[in-house]
Amino acid sequence: MDRFPVFLDLHNRQCLVVGGGKVAERKVDSLLKAGAVVTLIAPDITTEMGIITSGQNVQYHARPFVDSDIDGQFLVIAATNNPSVNAHIASLADARNMPVNVVDDASVGNFIIPSVVDRSPVTIAISTGGASPVLARQLRMKLETMIPPQCGELAGITEEYRDIVKKHLPEAQRKTFWEQALKGPFAELVYAGHVEDARRLLDEMLASYPNGQTMGEVYLVGAGPGDPDLLTFKALRLMQQADVMVYDRLVSKSILDMANQRAERIYVGKEKASHAVPQDQINDLLVKLAKQGKRVLRLKGGDPFIFGRGGEEIETLAENGVPFQVVPGITAASGCSSYAGIPLTHRDYAQSCTFATGHLKDGSIDLNWAQLSQPNQTVVFYMGLTGIEVISQQLQAFGRSGDTPAALVEQGTTRNQRVHIGTIATLPQLVKDSGVRAPTLTIVGEVVQLHSKLHWYEPQRHVIASEFSLDHPVAPVEV
């Protein structure tokens, strides 16, 4: 470790900044946020600097630096555009054992300013020791996306309860208590903005700890259409903290690999005429696992509320008093059409869009064909391969031209994506000739003709193994 990381208390401390440009702006702003009293020396300052310092704890002197400016300072930042002036300031400060930073030159000063993720009171500093400030900023941006904005509020509540927990629990139990609290529903309530509910839950946990059985929680998460990059930040966070994962057939292996590797995995996938676990048993399983105090990740392809049976599952959870969260995912219609270069709406071709299922709960395809056959709209059929002949016949029977463009998007958004273009009339033969297999989405409408112009995604077509494994091992399930 070349540099010793340290966090300084600058409240009411005298800090000197020499320089009035853009870099100095950032330094002054950071110092003021940390509670410092700033002396700013520069012949001229930017307009933004004037706004930052207006009415704040800043003494601005519109002139060049003189050696006496360093007297009485606790910390010094040299941010001029003159390297010799910066080096001179650094030598003066270093001779007096003052912390001094020279911007863009880690070799001259005696400390560097890291990139910071600020979730006060949680603060994360990232440094490359001056080797690559750009890399440090990129790492900071990644952390910004991973750490919820309410993390600081969570830390504040735990600080409030530290003495209370000390009084209630012996030292040997405190660490385990806080680990359970910060990984469970208490933390999730804070992240969701339900602070008072979170406090009540923490009180209940403390009153019953360690003998009481704490109720777990179910995370109903949409995994999107296949590309891992389409996951939401919240989905990824919940995936990585789950104790057990209950997942479907259409969740790609690359997404499964992003979940907590220590989590128990239970496969409950469905495909036509072959249900690994019936839906009512899945519902009961989620309740059972949550009542064991587990954080249950219910991971579904696409969006759980769009032909994903998510509504049925959370109905059961609500009836049994099990807390849950629903995290939307990019549904297949949106993801697959985007990756196929087929906009679902377009002012010149389609002013509305309808999603329809290729088969109903009883296995029929008894849909509102009159509505689905209306012009100037795009219709997207989920799970429609088996009934493709009925779809083709009924759309034409209710007035949609057989020449209307249609597309089959197979394994959309993955590296195995294939797009097959035809018309409503040729769809059945297109399915036979192409050998297309599920998961495949059917898109019907004039917008399909834009594929030839707008397709942008070029997946790797020759791969050893598919991202979708249709032969997931089925874990034993007791309901």
pLDDT for position 360: 65
- Looking up residue 73, the CATH number of its domain turns out to be 3.40.50.720
Count of structural domains, the chain: 4
225 is in an annotated binding site: yes
190 is in an annotated binding site: no
User: Considering the domain boundaries, does residue 383 fall inside one?
Assistant: yes
User: Considering the domain boundaries, does residue 4 fall inside one?
Assistant: no
Q: Where is mean pLDDT largest: 14-28, 49-63, 356-370?
A: 14-28
Closest to 23 measured CA to CA, from 132, 102, 84: 102
**What share of residues in the chain are helix, strand, coil (percent, to 5)?**
35, 20, 45
Query: Please, are residues 408 and 419 in contact by the beta-carbon 8 Å criterion?
Result: yes
Closest to 447 measured CA to CA, from 335, 344, 334, 336: 344
- Which domain does 262 fall in, by range? 217-330
Beta strands per DSSP E along 199-286: 217-222, 244-247, 264-267, 270-271, 274-275
Q: What is the mean pLDDT of residues 163-190?
A: 89
Burial per residue of 77-112, b for 16 or more beta-carbon CB atoms within 10 angstroms, e otherwise: bbbbeeeebbbebbebbeeeebbbbbbeebebbbbb
Q: Give the predicted TM-score (pTM) of the model.
A: 0.73
Question: Is 361 annotated as catalytic?
Answer: no
1 is in an annotated binding site: no
Residues 383, 300 share a domain: no
Q: What is the DSSP string of 333-383?
A: HHHHHHHTT--S-BTTTBSEEEEEESS-TTS-----HHHHT-SSEEEEEES
Instruction: Please identify which of the residues 27, 227, 248, 300 carries the catalytic annotation.
Output: 248
pLDDT at residue 471 greater than cutoff 60: no
Q: Select the more confidently predicted residue: 295 or 475.
A: 295
302 is in an annotated binding site: yes
23 is in an annotated binding site: yes
Residues sharing a CB contact under 8 Å with residue 125, sequence separation 6 or more, in sequence order: 5, 7, 114, 115, 116, 117
331 is in an annotated binding site: yes
Tens of pLDDT, residue by residue over 397-446, are 999 999 999 999 999 999 999 999 999 999 999 999 999 999 999 999 99
Residues 442, 345 share a domain: yes
Q: How far apart are CA 301 and CA 225, in angstroms?
A: 6
Q: Strand 115-119 relative to strand 122-126: parallel, antiparallel, unpaired?
A: antiparallel
439 is in an annotated binding site: no
State phi, psi for 327 to the nearest 5 degrees: -115, 110
User: Considering the domain boundaries, does residue 247 fall inside one?
Assistant: yes
State phi, psi for 410 to the nearest 5 degrees: -100, 130
pLDDT at residue 382 greater than cutoff 80: yes
Verify cis geometry, omega within 30 degrees of 0, for the bond prior to 439. Answer: yes
pLDDT for position 274: 55
Residues 316, 382 share a domain: no
Q: Is the dihedral of CA 43, 45, 51, 57 positive or negative?
A: negative
pLDDT at residue 469 greater than cutoff 60: no
User: Considering the domain boundaries, does residue 415 fall inside one?
Assistant: yes
Alpha carbon 198 to its chain's center: 22
384 is in an annotated binding site: no
Residues 443, 350 share a domain: yes
471 is in an annotated binding site: no
pLDDT for position 293: 86
Instruction: Please identify which of the residues 234, 270, 288, 291 carries the catalytic annotation.
Output: 270
**Bridge-partner residues for 16, per DSSP?**
39, 76
Q: How far apart are CA 416 and CA 402, in angstroms?
A: 29
- Looking up residue 232, the CATH number of its domain turns out to be 3.40.1010.10
**Bridge-partner residues for 271, per DSSP?**
274
Provide the 10 A C-beta neighbour count for residue 60.
18
User: Considering the domain boundaries, does residue 94 fall inside one?
Assistant: yes
Q: What is the mean pLDDT of residues 258-280?
A: 82
SS3 assignment, position 300: strand
pLDDT at residue 3 greater than cutoff 90: no
Query: Please, are residues 350 and 376 in contact by the beta-carbon 8 Å criterion?
Result: yes
CA distances from 459 to 249, 362, 425, 447 (A): 21, 36, 28, 22
Residues 420, 339 share a domain: yes
pLDDT for position 472: 40
Which helix (H) or strand (E) segment is 287 a member of?
Answer: helix 279-291
User: Considering the domain boundaries, does residue 463 fall inside one?
Assistant: no
Q: What is the mean pLDDT of residues 137-160?
A: 91
Question: Is 33 annotated as catalytic?
Answer: no
Tens of pLDDT, residue by residue over 86-105, are 999 999 999 999 999 999 88
20 is in an annotated binding site: no
User: Considering the domain boundaries, does residue 461 fall inside one?
Assistant: no
Which helix (H) or strand (E) segment is 421 a member of?
Answer: strand 418-423
257 is in an annotated binding site: no
Residues 370, 305 share a domain: no
